[in-house]
Amino acid sequence: MVAMNKNIEKLLEKIIQQNEMLIQEQDSKKKAEEKLPERALEEATSERSVIGQKISLTELLDTNTKLIKDMLDGSKLIVNRYTIGRNAKTNVHIFYVKDLVDKVTLSQVKAKISKLEVNYLINLEVIIDELKPKGSGLFPTTKYTERYDTMVSDLLQGKVVVICDHTPYALVAPITFWELFQTEVEYSTSYGAFTNRLMRMFGFLLNVFLPSVYIAMEKFHLGDIKSEIIKGWFEGKEVLSPFWEMVIIIFVFKIASDVSLHIYKSLGLLVTIIATLVVGEYSVTIHLISDTSLVVAGIAQLSGLLIIVKGIIPLATTLSWSMLIVANFFGFTGLIIAFTLCFIWATSLKPFGVPYLSPFIPFKPWEFKDSFWRGDMKKIINSKHSFRE
């Protein structure tokens, strides 16, 4: 007679009675096979902070879910689970806090994710594109983060967080334009609470407009400059015009930055040396480009590093090239018109029904305490926040 038994005490009793038995390890092996190797919790790489929480998301959705639940212990956290993909299944979780979440955003996110049909889903990029409203162009209407404290803070502000399996970052909605200049470190220390965001906004403007202002001034307004010293900045023996100088310098910078992200780390120094020699020394020596063009382009590109984390770089890069072309043909008049059109475009955007430039448009000064600068933490935490007009 053959019988199956999982009770250890009864099995020991059978052994004492000298009964024969077959110990099957199928279940334990199956569990071992199902448990995937997991990367240890590590420090955030793209959103590093000197002070504050260090750990970032991992590729395993279950681990991320457990940590978020632990950090929001006592709250009415809700997790909606979806499975997306026809050829390969990927789990997607939507997180929100009941009674705090913006219901319009939640309904739109749920509706679009539940109707999403793709052959496979490797990361969140497909969902980001799906949630992007029509007509928004390159303006980011969602943000991504790899920090748990950022996600928890956003959830308690009534936002929706989306995480999918095998992806070590999360998607947050809704956002306003000014949130792209915020970092979590500002909520861990008072250092730079008033100046950091303003500095990033100024860096964004420098990255977009500094090269085009230089081109417009040299081509259309050089005669209006009275100072001989400043005139000397524009007058040289260079072979190329300032417009093509700027194009070449920015293009080489883009090559160096893109290559440094995709090659072996050990070759990063070689790329830096080659770019420095080609652009910084030899091109100036042979009068291919001017010193002034090199300085202007360098400041613009360094300013762009202030905003590289929050996903605003594609917008800044596109605007920078567009303004450069406009300035070369139409000068300051064209720049003013182009800026006005972009401003009107941004003003018209309402992703998830939220005014994109709020609290500036519509004007809500009581919301400034956590927009252009970081105000008193107690007031920020206890104040009632609304995304709507």
Quickly list DSSP for 23-62.
---HHHHHHHHHS---PPP-B-SSS--SSS--BB--S-HH
- Residue in 198, 145, 190 with CA at minimum distance from that of residue 368: 198
Residue where the block lists tokens 């500095």? 199
Structure tokens at 359: 């609290």
Which among 33, 373, 336 has a CA at the least distance from the CA of 178?
Answer: 373
Show the CA angle centred on residue 356, arms to residues 353 and 360, nearest 5°.
120
Q: Name the band, by pLDDT with cuts 50, 70 and 90, for residue 28.
A: very low
Amino acid present at 187: Y
Q: What pLDDT, on a 0 to 100 scale, did the predictor assign at position 321?
A: 93
**pLDDT tens per residue across span 209-256:** 999 999 998 888 776 666 665 656 666 666 678 888 888 888 888 877
Look over the chain and give the mean of its residue pLDDT values, rounded to a whole number.
80
pLDDT band at 39 (very low <50, low <70, confident <90, very high): low
Residue 382: predicted pLDDT: 78
Task: Give residue-wise pLDDT tens across range 73-112.
Answer: 878 899 999 999 999 899 999 999 998 898 999 999 999 9
Q: Both tokens of residue 162?
A: 């989306």
Polymer length of the chain:
389
Beta strands in the chain (DSSP E): 77-84, 90-97, 143-145, 160-164, 170-173
When comparing pLDDT for 227 and 61, which is higher?
Answer: 61
Higher pLDDT, 256 or 67: 67
Amino acid at 302: L
Mean pLDDT of 315-338: 93
Which has more confidence, 14 or 274? 274
Top mean pLDDT of 2-6, 194-198, 364-368 is at 194-198
